[in-house]
């Protein structure tokens, strides 16, 4: 099996575990390479995601490590996450069980698809998000004005500190902390969560991904669009951002863990 190994690079224990995983897998006959950032941290040669031709990515770290890896993929590669973070909701395995699972992973492993959203301005793609796109002011304590258009109909106008455009996968991340609902990742939809809205009627919306969704920003204050916490784009004070389901979902190795069991274990019992 061809494996690309990714680790968080700010933790020596995580990097040491990555080296252990590589040693074990190579003894099993797998072809293992590090991604470029991990390789630099270890002082070893590595491979960029653009050049990768691996069958699976093993990511050792928290959700940030997994999101960083997915953001760099020019094409979807199945990801297996090993939690080396605080919560690691996207990581299905703990270090104590990871080696045994990886050693017994069959070539015909099953894959779970997770919807991503594509954010655009006109014909220009701004990026794809697995968790969320965040529109937030560049100046603290300054509000932004938003209009929500669904199928070319203005459904809501409000002022707020920002707006989260989340996927069902991202509903257990920032969107949940901002008061949004937990959404089953099998649902195909866009979750909109205003941040500190100035109207009591401004509530989270879950909109079918089959609909035409646009977010119109019209404010005196400039804003940023932050995608999965990994990419920041200046959008000025006036821009219309289109939202649609990405052509390429994220792929995760299915370890047969029930989503709601993960919610109970990782979110309710912290």
In the predicted structure, residue 57 carries a pLDDT above the cut 60: yes
* Cα–Cα distance for residue pair 180/57, rounded to 1 Å: 30
What is the maximum alpha-carbon separation in the chain? 60
Inform me whether the pLDDT recorded for 43 exceeds 90: yes
Residues with Cβ < 8 Å from 202, sequence gap 6 or more?
Answer: 156, 158, 160, 194
Task: Compute CA distances 218 → 135, 160, 222, whole Å.
Answer: 12, 12, 9
Say if residue 108's pLDDT is above 90: no
Band (140; pLDDT cuts 50, 70, 90): confident
Residue of 35, 37, 51, 63 marked active site: 63
- Residue 95: the pLDDT is 92
pLDDT category at 267 given cuts 50, 70, 90 is: confident
39, 51 in Cβ contact below 8 A? Answer: no
Would you call 63 a catalytic residue per the annotation? yes
Q: What is the pTM of this model?
A: 0.92
| pLDDT higher than threshold 70 for residue 73 | yes
Residue 53 has pLDDT above 90, yes or no: no
All structural domains of the chain, each given as residue ranges with its CATH number in brackets, are 2-114+249-266 (3.40.50.10330), 117-245 (2.60.200.30)
Q: Report the run of H or E that residue 98 belongs to, with start and end.
A: helix 95-103
pLDDT in tens, 173-209: 999 999 999 999 999 999 999 999 988 778 999 999 9
Tell whether the model's pLDDT for residue 270 goes beyond 70.
Answer: no
Q: What is the pLDDT of residue 269?
A: 58
Percent of the chain with pLDDT over 90: 79
The whole-number pLDDT of residue 52 equals 83
Average pLDDT score over residue span 38-59: 92
Are 170 and 200 spatial neighbours (Cβ–Cβ below 8 Å)?
Answer: no
In whole numbers, what is the pLDDT of the chain averaged over residues? Answer: 93
Residue carrying the six token digits 């990801």: 79
User: For residues 212 and 243, what is the distance between their CA atoms, to the nearest angstrom?
Assistant: 7
DSSP state of 93: B
Residue 265 pLDDT grade (very low, low, confident, very high; cuts 50, 70, 90): confident
C-beta neighbour count of 210 within 10 angstroms: 11
CB 85 within 8 A of CB 59: no
Q: Residue 1 — pLDDT band, cuts 50, 70, 90? A: confident
The 10s digit of each residue's pLDDT in 18-41 is 999 999 999 988 899 999 999 999
């Amino acid at each position: 099996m061809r494996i690309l190994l990714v680790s968080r690079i700010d933790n020596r224990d995580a990097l040491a575990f990555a080296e252990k995983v590589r040693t074990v897998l190579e003894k099993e006959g797998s072809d293992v390479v590090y991604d470029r950032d991990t390789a630099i941290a270890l002082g070893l040669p590595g491979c960029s995601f653009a050049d990768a031709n691996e069958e699976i990515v093993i990511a050792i770290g928290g959700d940030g490590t997994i999101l960083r890896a997915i953001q760099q993929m020019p094409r979807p590669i199945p990801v297996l996450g090993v939690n080396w973070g605080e919560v690691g909701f996207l990581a299905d395995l703990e270090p104590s069980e990871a080696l045994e699972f990886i050693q017994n992973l069959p070539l015909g492993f099953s894959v779970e698809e997770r919807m991503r959203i594509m954010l655009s301005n006109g014909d220009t793609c701004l990026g794809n998000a697995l968790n969320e796109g965040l529109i937030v002011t560049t100046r603290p304590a300054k509000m932004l004005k938003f209009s929500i258009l669904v199928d070319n109909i203005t459904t809501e106008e409000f002022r707020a500190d920002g707006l989260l455009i989340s996927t069902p996968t991202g509903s257990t991340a920032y969107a949940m902390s901002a008061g949004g609902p937990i959404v089953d990742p099998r649902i195909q939809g866009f979750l909109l969560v205003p941040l500190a809205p100035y109207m009591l009627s401004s509530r989270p919306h879950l909109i079918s991904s089959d609909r035409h969704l646009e977010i119109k920003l019209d404010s005196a204050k400039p804003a940023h669009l932050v995608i999965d916490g990994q990419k920041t784009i200046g959008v000025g004070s006036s821009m219309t951002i289109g939202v649609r389901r990405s052509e390429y979902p994220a792929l995760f190795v299915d370890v047969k863990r029930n989503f709601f069991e993960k919610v109970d274990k990782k979110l309710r019992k912290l």
